[in-house]
Chains A and B, each alone.
Chain A
Amino acid sequence: MTPANNFIELDGLTKNYRESGRSVTIFENLQLSVKRGELLVLLGRSGSGKSTLLNLLGGIDRPDSGHIFINGIDLTTLSEHRRTLFRRHHIGFVFQSYQLIPTLTVLENLLLPLELIRRIRLEDRDKAAALLNELELTSRLDTYPDRLSGGEQQRVSIARALIHDPLLVLADEPTGNLDLQTGQQVMSLLDKLVRQSGKTLILATHSREVMGIADHIFTIRDHALIETGD
């Protein structure tokens, strides 16, 4: 049972992977509580397990032991199908390498998460147009991702993560492939849009530049989560 005030609760989370026939621990017995609307930054070296933790939170991977409560629902007890449906409705992903569908236009990429939930309505198109307008992508609606710059692709990716009004946005190194200036623009957009809508954001990065916008900063070190303070 998750404590009433916490939006996210990790309880004794352990994840291992197998390499060359032996088991390697990524993290062990993690505990974490996050309140609704908070922005949490995960720091750590490459390979420390930041992406793995986001994958577990997003329900696209399963822990070896422990529990993940999001909004009172224990993801670890859900079937594959139920986890997918949970993700479809409540999670938004932003990836380092954007991960847009190359065969869909900008607008179609944006509308796809909505279409998985329901048949697209006129107001959905208006909402997508407004979001793209805010992200200064109105002129690229019918463009395919491979014609966009890295910054533009990441802005589309952010819009896609928010279009279906999720409870939680998970961003994995969203500025990792961008230059400093574009990265700052993307971060400020992400911060603004997430804060505006009161969503919870967990952001994995190894860049300390983004620490200023965080409510909490955690570092994964020696298989454990350590709160680093402000």
Chain B
Amino acid sequence: MNTILNRAGRNFLLRHPWQLALALLGITLGVAVVIAIDLALDSALQSFKQAERTVSGNATHRIIGGEGGLNEALYRKLRVEHGMRNLAPVLQTYLPIRQNPELKLRAIGIDPFTENAFRSGWQSGQNGAQAAIRLVTEANSAMLGRQTAEALGLTIGDELIVTTGTGDHRLHIVDLITPGSAAATEALRNIVIADISTLQEITGWFGKLSYIDTIIPETDPRTTRTRLADLLPGDVSLISIETQFESMQQMTEAFSINLSAMGLLSLLVGMFLIYNTMTFLVLQRRGLIGNLRLIGVTRRQIGRMIVTEALLLAVIGTALGTGLGLLLGQLMLQPISATVDTLYFKIDALSLSVSPLQIGKAVLLGIGATILAVIPPLREANRFSPKHALTRSQLESGTRRLTRSILLLGLLLIAVGFAVGFMSETSIQLGLASVFLLLFGFALLTPSVTLSVMSAVETLSGRQFGILGKLPPRMIGAEISRTGVAIAALMIAVAATIGMNLMIDSFRVTVEQWLNTTLQADIYVSLAGDKPARDKAAKDSQLKAAITELAEVEEVSTVLHTQVAAGGMPVKVSAFELTEASKNGFVFKQAFDAELWRAFEEQQTVIVTEPYAYHNKVKAGDTIALQTAEGLQDFKILGIYYDYSGDRGRLAMSRTQYLHYWPDLGYTGIGVYSIAGSDLNALESRLRDRLPQGLELKSNRAIFDASMQVFDETFLITETLRWLAAGIAFVGVFGALMALQFERTRQLGILRAIGMTPGQLTGLICTETGLMGLTAGLIAIPVGLLVAYVLIYIVYLRSFGWTMAFHLNSAVLIQGLLLAIFAALLAGILPAYRMARTQPADALRAE
């Protein structure tokens, strides 16, 4: 009995392959987007972790200083004077290479004799220990990963030409590292290893180290750690490698959550699609179900039949979605890691890593979402009595009654959404949950709003176009159980698009205004080069003096972007030499007076960026304890200023205060202010003549353009995901319209029989789909505005600590409306074409 019963259901599905395919597509796309984001994001971070783990080897802790590096004497003191053995000094920098100017190799300088306990992987080359000796004894010798060497067409004995602040240098390759595993191969991609002294020589980092790795035994961690920490100068920190990874992870947390939310948005839209298709599949079979009930099949058996089908669809869709997700993940890996690279930290190697847990999550999500989506149609199927299973209109009138309950539920969800959004204080997750609740709530309002809109359209179009004008709105209203869901899915996607567009637009305008205010100088000189290099500060200082002497130059400002330590963790600091004009580049959150700048220059004070204040929960008047060589020093916060250059924030202090406690690392940039009326082109040309090779000169316009380009690039992945969600919604609308037209075949056949031409029929179907798009677009506009508001004032503020001004761009709203109409019209073309080509006689014979 059960086998035949299942066959009855299965045969129905097989006779409607389009709907079957669309149901599978819904699950597949929803699962694929979620798993792709999860995989790409996780892989980018895992790649970073794997590379760091390979580089750090067995080290458990790391001794770090500021960007000026550690003094090599510290290492000698710890090892020789205090007898600490488990220490490995490292110098690390990035080197552009002549063989491939686009590529920067991560150069790691080591002490081969202390390395064995820490990292033995680099000794896996064919020359093994002998190569280690050559690294120490032969000048400019280095080792390269086998894969990297092959990519560059190099082998043992060849030369690698690298460029540093001190010029071009030739490194002799003495061995190729052959990692033992695929993961290690990836991690060691683009890495060059040399003896510390070799790297110190070619970079000019004489007497400097980047960090010292150490192994603190698990048996007595506290005593060893305390002893070691006590031996360190005040501006040097001992941190655990795991803590460093965690802080890296925390940095990207907000970014990860926001990206995952975009994936979930696709799944939400996908769920509507699954729900829609499953509802169609159940409702279309009301005749079959009625007949089965008539011959004694129980509700439980019907339920089991539908759930079995849904499970089967879910399993196939999830399997396909997982496969597609892997492909999409691979495609997304590059843009996601590029964004992480731009915003947070450098990722050297990239490979997609898949864990069983991620696959498990995808399976749970795909099957869970399908089961969730099938519950309402299942309840509907169980309502069919053998008698009323045959009448559509009764079902629809039931649905119309249901729209009132759905309306109330929608209003409730919207209220909860607002409450969650505004009362959850700092949680990003709850902020995003609020967006989802609002979207879902408004989606539930859609059927009621659609009925009202259709009623109004019917009155207007009826007056103008008679009965034919009344038909499209009536058809939408009459089949609200299906049209409503399709409109809701489209509305969600378009509202999300409008919301995201308005948010990005507002952000863009805010950043533009900020850049215009911040970029006060006429020309900027960007000073590259390794900060720890011995003569960098002196060279920078000479350059500044040379620029100041130019006749066209009125004054110059300088900045040094670096890092100092606070609470054992690095904190970004900008040390400024400000001119009166450059002070105008700071916009403070609160009112300030001239006294602020005097205190900034003369006292132990800082000003902090808005993201720093937000993430560290500090306000003007508080103090921050910074690690200096003279121990902890308190710096009073004078004010909080707007800054959109990074989402973790930074401190700003006067250069005088900075130099009081930290070493001179030169400048990162020099702002040049010209005398009023001077020829900027001539000044630029004269500046270029004075610039040493490798330094860049940029007008404030060029910096503005480059910054906006970075801005656009960081939103590339968000844009891609938004379009994916819109694409899924389009598939949803397309599927719903296809299914509607399938079911309506006979009705459309009658219209053809009584004299409606194929052209009129196409017009009728397109008007209907256009009206559906119009309704979705009209509802999406206020919802999109609301989404933008929540994103700007709740989600992004909590995620990144940025205040943005809401910028209402009416073009975005019009584009959203047109997108909805266009998507719906496009989705209606195929059904219209198919119906127009169907012989009326065939249409009348349809089931």
B-binding residues in A (CB < 8 A): 52, 55, 58, 60-62, 80-81, 84-85, 87-89, 91, 93, 95, 99-104, 108, 111-113, 115-117, 119-120, 144, 146, 160
**Nearest CB in chain A to that of B465: its residue:** A115
Minimum C-beta distance from B688 to chain A (A): 73
Contact in complex: B756, A60 (CB < 8 Å): no
In the complex, which residues of chain A have a beta carbon less than 8 angstroms from the beta carbon of B747? 101-102
Contacts of A112 in B (CB 8 A): 467-468, 754
In the A-B complex, the 10 residue pairs with the closest CB atoms: A88-B755, A61-B841, A60-B840, A146-B393, A103-B474, A55-B841, A99-B750, A103-B478, A60-B841, A84-B757
A41 vs chain B, min Cβ distance (A): 21
Please report the C-alpha to C-alpha distance between residue A61 and residue B248 in the assembled complex, in whole angstroms. Answer: 71
Please report whether the interface of chain B is mostly helix, strand, loop or mixed according to DSSP: helix
Give the residues in chain B near A62, CB-CB below 8 Å.
Answer: 839
Q: How far is the CA of A112 from the CA of B754 in the complex (A)?
A: 9
Q: How far is the CB of A161 from chain B (nearest CB, A)?
A: 9
Contact B755 A99 (CB under 8 A): no
Contacting residue for B757 out of A58, A81, A113, CB 8 A: A81
Given A103-B475, A108-B467; A60-B753 close (CB under 8 Å): yes
Q: Is B478 in contact with A102, judged by CB distance below 8 angstroms? A: yes
Interface string of B342-371 (1 = CB under 8 A from A): 000000000000000000000000000000
A99 lies within 8 A of B746 (CB): yes
Task: Name the B residues within 8 Å of A93 (CB-CB).
Answer: 753-754
Q: Known interface pairs A85-B755, A93-B753. Does A103 touch B471 (Cβ–Cβ under 8 Å)?
A: yes
Q: In the bound complex, what is the Cα–Cα distance between A67 and B150 (angstroms)? A: 78
Chain B 443-471, CB within 8 Å of chain A: the 1/0 string?
Answer: 00000000000000000000000111011
Most A-side CB within 10 Å, residue of B466, B751, B839: B466
B844 interfacial by beta-carbon distance below 8 Å:
yes
Q: Which residues of A contact B840 (CB under 8 A)?
A: 55, 60-61
Contact string against A for B residues 814-846, beta-carbon threshold 8 Å, 1 for contact and 0 otherwise: 000000000000000000000000011110100
B752 within 8 A of A: yes
A24 to nearest B CB, angstroms?
15
Residue B572 interfacial (CB < 8 Å): no
Q: How far is the CA of A85 from the CA of B756 in the complex (A)?
A: 8
- CB interface residues, B 390-417, toward A, < 8 Å: 391-394
Say yes or no for B758: interface residue by CB 8 A criterion: yes
Task: Select which of A61, A101, A111 is within 8 A of B751 by beta carbon.
Answer: A101
Chain B contacts for A58, CB-based, 8 A: 753
Looking at the assembled complex, report how far the CB atom of A139 sits from the nearest CB atom of chain B, in whole angstroms: 20
1/0 per residue, CB under 8 A from A, across B624-659: the answer is: 000000000000000000000000000000000000
Expressed in whole angstroms, the minimum distance between the Cβ of B759 and any Cβ of chain A is: 8
A29–B176 alpha-carbon span in the complex (Å): 88
CA distance A102 to B749 in the complex (A): 13
| With A60-B841, A99-B746, A111-B467: A117-B754 Cβ-Cβ less than 8 Å | no
B side interface size, CB within 8 A: 32
**Complex Cα gap A52–B844 (Å):** 11
Contact: A104 with B474, CB < 8 Å? yes
- A52 (CB) vs chain B CBs: closest residue: B841
Q: Are B467 and A99 in contact (CB under 8 A)?
A: no
A117 CA / B470 CA spacing, docked (Å): 17
Partner of B758, one of A61, A80, A144: A80
**What residues of chain B lie closer than 8 Å to A160, measured between beta carbons?**
754
**CB atoms of B839 and A104 under 8 A apart:** no
> Taking beta carbons and an 8 Å cutoff, which residues of B are in contact with A?
391-394, 466-468, 470-471, 474-475, 477-478, 746-747, 749-760, 839-842, 844
Across-interface contacts of A144 in B (CB, < 8 A): 393
Do B391 and A104 touch across chains, with their CB atoms under 8 A apart?
Answer: no
What is the number of contacts between chain A and chain B, taking CB atoms within 8 Å? Answer: 87
Smallest CB–CB gap between A39 and chain B, Å? 21
Contact B756 A116 (CB under 8 A): yes
Give complex CA distance A9, B393 in Å: 42
CB neighbours of B841 from chain A (8 A) = 52, 55, 60-61
6 additional A-B pairs beyond A101-B747, A102-B747, beta carbons within 8 Å, are A55-B840, A104-B467, A115-B467, A116-B760, A120-B466, A120-B467
The complex places the Cα of A167 from the Cα of B789 at a distance, in Å, of 65
Query: Which of B477, B755, B759 makes the CB contact (< 8 A) with A87?
Result: B755
Q: Once the chains bind, are A60 and B467 in contact (CB under 8 Å)?
A: no
Contact B393 A87 (CB under 8 A): no
- Of B753, B839, B841, most A-chain CB atoms within 10 Å: B753
- A116 surroundings in chain B (CB, below 8 A): 468, 754-756, 760
Once the chains are docked, how many angstroms separate the CA of A103 from the CA of B392? 12
Closest A residue to B391 using CB positions: A146
Contact A60 B844 (CB under 8 A): yes
Are the C-beta atoms of A104 and B470 separated by less than 8 Å? yes
- In Å, the complex CA distance between A84 and B466 comes to 20
Q: How far is B468's CA from A104's CA once the two chains are assembled, in angstroms?
A: 10
Chain A residue at smallest Cβ distance from B755? A88
Complex: how many Å from CA A84 to CA B758? 9
Residues of chain A lying within 8 A (CB to CB) of residue B839: 60-62
Task: Give which listed residue, B392, B466, B760, contacts A102 with CB less than 8 A.
Answer: B392
Q: A160 to B750: give the CA distance in the assembly, Å.
A: 12
For the complex, give the distance between the alpha carbons of A163 and B794 in Å.
Answer: 63
User: Closest CB-CB distance, A101 to chain B, in whole Å?
Assistant: 6
Smallest beta-carbon distance B657→chain A, Å: 78
Contact partners of A52 in chain B: CB under 8 A: 841
Which residues from A are CB-within-8-Å of B467?
Answer: 104, 108, 111-112, 115, 120
**Cα distance A109–B753 when bound, in Å?**
13
Nearest Cβ on chain B to A100's Cβ, whole angstroms: 8
Residues of A close to B470: CB separation below 8 A: 104, 108
C-alpha spacing A95/B477, complex, angstroms: 26
Query: How many Å from the CB of A38 to the closest CB on chain B?
Result: 22
Closest chain B residue, CB of each to CB of A92: B754
- How many angstroms between the C-alpha atoms of A84 and B468 in the bound complex? 17
B296 vs chain A, min Cβ distance (A):
26
B388 smallest CB distance to A (angstroms): 11
Chain A residues whose CB sits within 8 angstroms of the CB of B474 once the complex forms: 103-104
Q: How far is the CA of A102 from the CA of B744 in the complex (A)?
A: 11
Contact A81 B758 (CB under 8 A): yes
Cα distance A89–B756 when bound, in Å?
A: 11
Q: Tell which of A60, A108, A120 touches B752, judged by Cβ atoms closer than 8 Å.
A: A60
State which of A80, A81, A101, A115 has its C-beta within 8 Å of the C-beta of B466.
A115
Query: Is the Cβ of B466 less than 8 Å from the Cβ of A119?
Result: yes
In the complex, chain A residues whose CB is within 8 Å of the CB of B471: 101, 103-104
